[in-house]
Amino acid sequence: MTAQGIALLGSTGSIGTTALRVLSRHRDRFVVRALTAHGNAELLRAQAAEWQPSFVGLVQGEGTADATWWRGPEALVEAATRHDVEIVLNAVVGAAGLDATMAALEAGKRVALANKESLVMGGALVKAAAQRGGGTLVPVDSEHSAILQCLAGRTTADIRRLIITASGGPFREWPAERVRAASALDALNHPTWSMGRKISVDSASLANKALEVIEAHFLFGLGYDQIDVVVHPQSIVHSMVEFRDGSVLAQLGVPSMELPILYALSHPDRLEDGGVPVFDPVAAGPLTFEAVRLDAFPCLGLGVAAGRAGGAAPAVFNAANEQAVMLFLEGKIAFGAIADSIAVALDRHAGLAGDSRDALWDADAAARRTVREKCEC
Cis peptide before 268 (omega within 30 of 0): yes
For the chain, the domain total comes to: 2
Q: Shortest CA distance to 279 belongs to which of 338, 310, 238, 240? A: 238
pLDDT band at 193 (very low <50, low <70, confident <90, very high): low
- Per-residue pLDDT, 141: 94
Q: Give percent of the chain above pLDDT 70.
A: 98
C-alpha to C-alpha distance for 269 and 135, rounded to whole angstroms? 18
Which domain range does residue 218 map to? 158-251+279-309
Kindly provide the residue ranges of all beta strands, DSSP E only, lying in the chain, ordered along the sequence.
4-9, 30-37, 55-58, 70-71, 87-90, 110-113, 136-139, 159-166, 227-231, 237-243, 248-252
Say whether both 66 and 186 belong to one domain. Answer: no
Same domain flag for 117 and 162: no
Q: Is the dihedral of CA 48, 52, 53, 54 positive or negative?
A: positive
Q: Do 71 and 194 have their domain in common?
A: no
State residue 194's pLDDT score.
66
Residues whose CB is less than 8 angstroms from the CB of residue 201 and which lie 6 or more positions away in sequence, other chains included: 184, 187, 188, 207, 325, 328, 329, 338
Q: Does a structural domain hold residue 345?
A: no
- Mean pLDDT score, 303-325: 97
Let me know if 197 is exposed, middle or buried by CB neighbors in 10 A (0-12, 13-18, 19+). Answer: middle
216 and 300 inside one domain: yes
Mean pLDDT of the chain: 94
3-class SS of residue 267: coil
Closest CA to 97 of 67, 127, 77: 77
Cα–Cα dist 219/85, whole Å: 23
- Determine the pLDDT at residue 153: 78
- Are 234 and 125 in a shared domain? no
The whole-model pTM stands at 0.94
Q: How many Cα atoms are found within 13 Å in the side-chain-facing hemisphere of 352?
A: 26
Tell me if 152 is assigned to some domain.
no
Residue 264 lies in a domain: no
Is 12 domain-assigned? yes
User: At 109, is the pLDDT very low, low, confident or very high (cuts 50, 70, 90)?
Assistant: very high
Residue 31 shares a structural domain with residue 168: no
286 and 180 in a common domain: yes
Sequential DSSP letters for 299-321: HHHHHHHHHHH-TTHHHHHHHHH
pLDDT of residue 155: 87
Given 71, 106, 139, which residue is the final one in a domain? Answer: 139
Q: 306 — phi, psi (to 5°)? A: -65, -40
CB atoms inside a 10 Å sphere around CB 46:
12
For residues 116 and 204, membership in a common domain is answered with no
Report residue 377's pLDDT band, with 50, 70 and 90 as the boundaries: low
| C-alpha span between 85 and 134 (Å, rounded) | 15
Whether residue 266 is contained in a domain is answered as: no
* Cα 187–chain centre separation: 18
DSSP state letter for 345: H
- Kindly give the interhelix angle for 117-133 and 357-374, rounded to the nearest 10 degrees: 170
Are 106 and 187 in the same domain? no
pLDDT exceeding 90 applies to what percent of the chain? 88
Least confident stretch, 17-31, 188-202, 276-290: 188-202
More confident residue, 102 or 169: 102
Residue 92 has pLDDT above 60, yes or no: yes
79 and 175 inside one domain: no
Q: Are residues 123 and 193 in the same domain?
A: no
Task: Say yes or no to pLDDT of 199 above 90.
Answer: no
| DSSP H or E run through 23 | helix 14-24
> pLDDT band for position 277 (50/70/90)?
confident
Q: What is the 3-state secondary structure (H, E, C) of 121-179?
A: HHHHHHHHHHHHHCCEEEECCHHHHHHHHHHCCCCHHHEEEEEEEECCCCCCCCCHHHH
The answer on 173 and 122 residing in a single domain is: no
Mean pLDDT across 289-318: 97
Looking at residue 291, what is its pLDDT?
97
pLDDT in tens, 234-276: 999 999 999 999 999 999 999 999 999 999 999 999 999 988 8
Q: For residue 24, give the DSSP letter.
A: H
pLDDT of residue 375: 81
Q: State mean pLDDT over 32-59.
A: 96
